């Protein structure tokens, strides 16, 4: 296949795939030598990766894929809210708030504060890397201690620890306000987060 | 696709051997017969059509996909034909006229469906080589929380206000010097040389940097690391003291106690 | 949003989606006026649709999507063999026509119009997402109602309902040809029924 045709074909394959395709796979499908595929992709990169486009060709795990530019992420999330949003169930949010303000805590302490078993919520939060186990409490049974993880800061968009409000100040505010402003509806419909 | 040859029924001389697709259903056959006889669809000659229809299904009973439907049409045609032979005043004759009109309606509708079918088939052929992705692309976006930290604080505030629990002083989020020391030790265990700027960058907050300084000083004090700076305002390098690091000191909690630094 | 940024964003959105996105949806997501979106897409079309690329932007079912060029078809089928399996039998096309013009319809109504049982064709069309069940008829047995689905527009390359002749214009009989009157209202009604 001559270069221009190969380039066209690779564009079509990458667009239709939406995920990474290996060089060998492209070579097999297009009946070309891997070297030719690589050359064609390098030429395509020159065209697509200028920053003028909303998508670019990226090498991922030994293959290539088309990715969207980071500056377009906000619009993609608006188009597919489930793609980049972590939604927590009300109980997971409760557990997270306890860990945030009481860390380090044990699971037993969380259960005691909430009055219900929090195992499922802790598992969800761990899975999403919002919290981590770190160290053990010097107490009978040496229970594991739970803390907020670094990822928490990214997910909640906090730059600085001083961005975390003092719950006391908010509690003062909400005493004067009629109702604490919590988006119950958003939390309720979303027991677990989407992929 | 099965092909059948014109079953030899009397048609115009123009198409003695007409190859046609096998009839989809009784309406298909009926319409074909009407067109072959150049008959007005609004005024079907029932007796002529009925005999041709019956002749066809008799000779092609094995080609027909759904014989029940073809037979139902046959009996309808026979009923209309015989009722129309009764005097015009009879109820049966009037009923047959209604049925004939209804059949015309159905055939007209059928013609339109067939025309649309042809349009769709040709559009389909034109586009059979065009593809798109039907699913959204698999991309990784960094997840953002739907909840804000303010909402988290509020949730915590409400838990506290329930009043079941007496808390000792709540100080807010904390960074423990033990944690930082432990992390530093883990990283230098491999003999890695750490740059202070790199460490500070992973959590660029005043509090963390302050604790980091304390942690590094603590480790220096314990002779577990050495620090080096080429000249003022350049980066500080933290190097393991190898003999000490490989010793068992390293797995111990370096400094105990409840010393922590919080924003409360 | 200025034009260059809007163009980039639309590229990213079209790539992510795969399926067609309507002008209004793009306008909402990008917080732009529909006119600006249309202008940006026209500019993108000039760049993309030259024939030099393996993909192009096309209007489908009232929205825009990225499709691959026909000359790349063989390679796409080699990569994704299932993409090439859709066949449309004359009877399936017939059933589809009935649904297109009579929607929403029940299976019984389709059988009645065709004079034969259409179960197999309905199943094939459903499997290929050309039609969908949507609601139930308020009638004895509450039969399910069938409609054309979004994929239909893509498979047949229909930009909007005006690409298809109106029911009245189909196979005009010699008798009604004397009064060639286009029934605008009928076409509009059909347009509204489609989504």
Q: What is the CATH number of the domain that holds B256?
A: 1.10.10.580
Residues of A in contact with C52 (CB under 8 A): 4, 8
Chain B residue closest in CA terms to C172: B112
Same domain? For A129 and A52 the reply is no
Task: Tell me the CA distances in angstroms from A128 to A87, A117, A164, one per residue in order.
Answer: 10, 19, 20
> Which string of DSSP letters, residue by residue, matches A92-127?
HHHHHHHHHHH-SB-HHHHHHHHSS--HHHHHHHHH
Stretch B153-170: mean pLDDT, rounded?
67
Beta carbons of A152 and A128 less than 8 angstroms apart: no
**A61 touches B at CB < 8 Å:** no
Stretch A5-28: mean pLDDT, rounded?
94
Tell me the β-bridge partners of C21.
Answer: C64
In a domain, B10, yes or no: yes
Same domain? For C112 and C170 the reply is yes
3-state DSSP assignment of residue C65: strand
Query: Cβ–Cβ of A8/C71 closer than 8 Å?
Result: yes
Stretch B76-89: mean pLDDT, rounded?
92
Core vs surface per residue C9-43: b (16+ CB within 10 A) or e = bbbbbbbbbbbbbebebbbebbebeeebbeebbee
Chain B residue closest in CA terms to C64: B132
Stretch B189-213: mean pLDDT, rounded?
74
Query: Cβ–Cβ of C115/B123 closer than 8 Å?
Result: no
In a domain, C151, yes or no: yes
Residues of C in contact with A19 (CB under 8 A): none
DSSP-derived letter for residue C62 is T
Query: Cβ–Cβ of C97/B24 closer than 8 Å?
Result: no
For residue B125, the model assigns a pLDDT of 93
If one counts the domains in chain C, the total is 2
Give the confidence band of B250 by pLDDT, cuts at 50, 70, 90.
Answer: very low
Query: Cβ–Cβ of B120/C96 closer than 8 Å?
Result: yes
In a domain, A13, yes or no: yes
Same domain? For A98 and A146 the reply is yes
Residue-wise pLDDT tens for chain C (195 aa)?
889 999 999 999 999 999 999 999 999 999 999 999 999 999 999 999 988 999 999 999 999 999 999 999 999 999 999 888 888 998 899 999 999 999 999 999 999 999 888 999 999 999 999 999 999 999 898 999 999 999 999 999 999 888 899 998 887 654 444 443 444 343 333 333 333
For residue B243, the model assigns a pLDDT of 60
Crossing angle (nearest 10°) for helices B46-59 and B67-84: 150
Does A21 score more than 50 pLDDT?
yes
Task: Tell me the CA distances in angstroms from B78 to B53, B61, B71, B96, one per residue in order.
Answer: 10, 18, 10, 10
- Name the residue range of residue B183's domain: 177-263
The rounded distance, in Å, linking the Cα atoms of A51 and A195 is: 28
3-state DSSP assignment of residue B142: coil
Query: Cβ–Cβ of C8/A79 closer than 8 Å?
Result: no
Comparing CA positions, the residue from A113, A169, A87, A109 lying closest to residue B154 is A169
A 153-182 residues with CB below 8 A of B? 153-168, 170-171, 174, 180-182
This prediction's pTM? 0.64
- Name the residue range of residue A104's domain: 90-175
The rounded distance, in Å, linking the Cα atoms of A174 and A191 is: 26
Query: Cβ–Cβ of B178/A181 closer than 8 Å?
Result: no
Same domain? For C60 and C95 the reply is no
Composition of chain A by helix, strand, coil, percent to 5: 55, 15, 30
Question: What average pLDDT does the structure give for chain B?
Answer: 76
- Per residue in A28-80, pLDDT (tens digit) is 999 999 999 999 999 999 999 988 999 999 887 778 999 999 889 889 988 98
The rounded distance, in Å, linking the Cα atoms of B263 and C21 is: 48
The rounded distance, in Å, linking the Cα atoms of C170 and C37 is: 35
In a domain, B214, yes or no: yes
Query: Cβ–Cβ of B26/C115 closer than 8 Å?
Result: yes
In a domain, C170, yes or no: yes
- Per residue in B101-149, pLDDT (tens digit) is 999 999 999 999 999 999 999 999 999 999 999 888 877 677 778 888 8
B 116-145 residues with CB below 8 A of A? 131-133, 135-139, 141-145
3-state DSSP assignment of residue A160: coil
Whole-complex ipTM: 0.72
Q: What is the CATH number of the domain that holds C166?
A: 1.10.10.10
Q: Look at residues B95, B127, B159 and tell me which one is the last residue of a structural domain.
A: B127
Same domain? For C99 and C45 the reply is no
Same domain? For B114 and B181 the reply is no
More confident site: C110 or B6: C110
């Amino acid at each position: 296949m001559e270069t221009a045709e190969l380039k066209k074909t690779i564009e079509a394959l990458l667009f239709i795939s939406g995920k990474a395709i290996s060089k060998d796979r492209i070579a097999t499908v297009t009946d070309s030598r891997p070297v030719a595929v690589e050359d064609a992709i390098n030429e395509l990169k020159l065209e697509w990766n200028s920053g003028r486009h909303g998508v670019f060709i990226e090498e991922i795990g030994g293959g290539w894929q088309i990715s969207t530019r980071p500056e377009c992420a906000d619009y993609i999330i608006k188009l597919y809210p489930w793609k980049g949003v972590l939604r927590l169930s009300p109980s997971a949010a409760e557990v997270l708030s306890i860990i945030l303000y009481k860390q380090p805590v044990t699971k037993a302490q969380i259960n005691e504060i909430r009055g219900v078993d929090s195992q499922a919520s802790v598992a969800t939060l761990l899975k999403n890397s919002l919290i981590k186990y770190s160290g053990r409490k010097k107490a009978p049974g040496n229970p594991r201690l739970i803390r907020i993880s670094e990822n928490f800061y990214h997910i909640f968009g906090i730059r600085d620890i001083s961005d975390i409000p003092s719950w006391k100040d908010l509690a003062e505010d909400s005493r004067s306000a009629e109702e604490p402003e919590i988006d119950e509806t958003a939390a309720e419909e979303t027991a677990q987060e989407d992929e | 696709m099965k092909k059948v040859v014109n079953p030899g029924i009397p048609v115009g001389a123009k198409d003695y051997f007409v190859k046609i697709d096998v009839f989809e259903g009784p309406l298909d056959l009926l319409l074909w017969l009407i067109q072959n006889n150049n008959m007005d669809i609004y005024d079907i000659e029932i007796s002529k059509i009925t005999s041709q229809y019956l002749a066809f299904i008799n000779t092609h009973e094995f080609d027909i996909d759904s014989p029940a439907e073809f037979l139902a049409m046959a009996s309808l045609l026979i009923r209309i034909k015989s009722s129309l032979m009764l005097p015009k005043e009879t109820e049966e004759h009037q009923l047959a006229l209604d049925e004939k009109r209804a059949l015309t309606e159905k055939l007209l509708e059928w013609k339109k469906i067939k025309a649309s079918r042809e349009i769709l088939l040709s559009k389909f052929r034109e586009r059979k080589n065009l593809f798109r992705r039907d699913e959204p692309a698999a991309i990784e976006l960094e997840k953002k929380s739907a909840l804000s930290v303010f909402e988290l604080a509020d949730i915590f505030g409400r838990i506290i206000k329930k009043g079941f629990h007496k808390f000792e002083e709540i100080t807010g989020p904390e960074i423990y010097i033990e944690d930082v020391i432990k992390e530093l030790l883990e990283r230098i265990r491999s003999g890695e040389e750490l740059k202070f700027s790199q460490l500070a960058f992973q959590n660029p907050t005043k509090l963390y940097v302050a604790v980091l300084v304390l942690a590094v000083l603590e480790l220096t004090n314990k002779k577990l690391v050495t620090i080096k700076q080429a000249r003022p305002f350049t980066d500080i390098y933290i190097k393991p003291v190898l003999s000490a690091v490989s010793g068992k000191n390293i797995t111990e909690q370096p400094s105990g106690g409840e010393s922590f630094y919080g924003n409360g």
